[in-house]
């Protein structure tokens, strides 16, 4: 079964995202910040990370840099309320497999997950 690690400091956002992913049949792990996520990713080796961008204790940008420096080889999908092209470009330059804007829409996130897991960029 495909395991996805969802990282977001907002319990509300985590519930939305995990609800969609659980309904789609994914096995999930959860972290509230990038520090915990990095540790879990190294222990559990999930198939995909889905991370918020702005969080305490290692934000999404830091997580992207750390994943690259530790050569985790796990695709990372970024969720953000920031709709600026420069933010999207920065995430992709740091190795994100995709960027999904909040509020999350079911069809969009499931499509982005499928693309990230297949190695394709939407």
Per-residue pLDDT of 42-71, as tens digits, reads 899 999 999 999 998 889 999 999 988 888
pLDDT above 70 coverage of the chain, percent:
98
**Whether the predicted pLDDT of 121 surpasses 70:** no
User: How is residue 14 written in tokens?
Assistant: 């985590």
Domain covering 3-118, topology: Rossmann fold (3.40.50)
**Count of beta carbons in the 10 Å neighbourhood of residue 107:** 8
Rounded to 10 deg, the angle between the 85-93 and 60-69 helix axes is 20
- Kindly state the average pLDDT of the residues 85-111: 95
Q: Where are the domains of the chain?
A: 3-118
At 56 the pLDDT is 85
Strand order in the sheet with 76-80: 27-31, 3-7, 48-52, 76-80, 98-101
Q: How many residues does the chain have?
A: 122
Query: Among the listed ranges 81-85, 87-91, 102-106, which one has the minimum average pLDDT value?
Result: 81-85
Give the global pTM: 0.94
Rounded to 10 deg, the angle between the 60-69 and 34-44 helix axes is 30
């Amino acid at each position: 079964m495909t395991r996805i690690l969802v990282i977001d400091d907002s319990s509300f956002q985590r519930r939305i995202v995990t609800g969609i992913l659980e309904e789609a049949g994914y096995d999930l792990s959860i972290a509230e910040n990038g520090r915990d996520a990095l540790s879990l990713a190294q222990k559990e080796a999930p198939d995909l990370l889905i991370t918020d961008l702005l969080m305490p204790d290692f934000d999404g940008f830091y997580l992207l840099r750390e994943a690259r420096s530790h050569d985790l080889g796990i695709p990372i999908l970024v969720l953000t309320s920031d709709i600026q092209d420069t933010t999207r470009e920065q995430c992709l330059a740091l190795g994100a497999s995709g960027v999904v804007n909040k509020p999350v829409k079911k069809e969009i996130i499931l499509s982005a997950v499928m693309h990230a897991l297949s190695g394709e960029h939407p």
